[in-house]
Structure 1
Amino acid sequence: MAPNTWLELATGRVGWAEAVTDGRVQMSGNRADLSAYLPL
């Protein structure tokens, strides 16, 4: 994931599902879902 994507997720400018759908976040496995912890 790009640094600017992480900042957008951490600050709530973009949601986890939106970032995954847009292809900005690539993940695998059930532990990779950080949506419960974002935004910080």
Structure 2
Amino acid sequence: VLLRMLPSYYYHIREYENSLVTRFYGVHCVKPVGGPK
């Protein structure tokens, strides 16, 4: 389910960078596999 949501979540962040969802959860909570912490 999470993997199916990621493309739409990414699109939402790109379109609405200052929305409440991105302010509360933010991109910093989404870490790429093997990426920096």
Q: TM-score normalised by the shorter chain: which range applies?
A: 0.3 to 0.5
Q: TM-score, with normalisation over the residues of structure 1?
A: 0.35
Which is higher, the Rg of structure 1 or of structure 2? 2
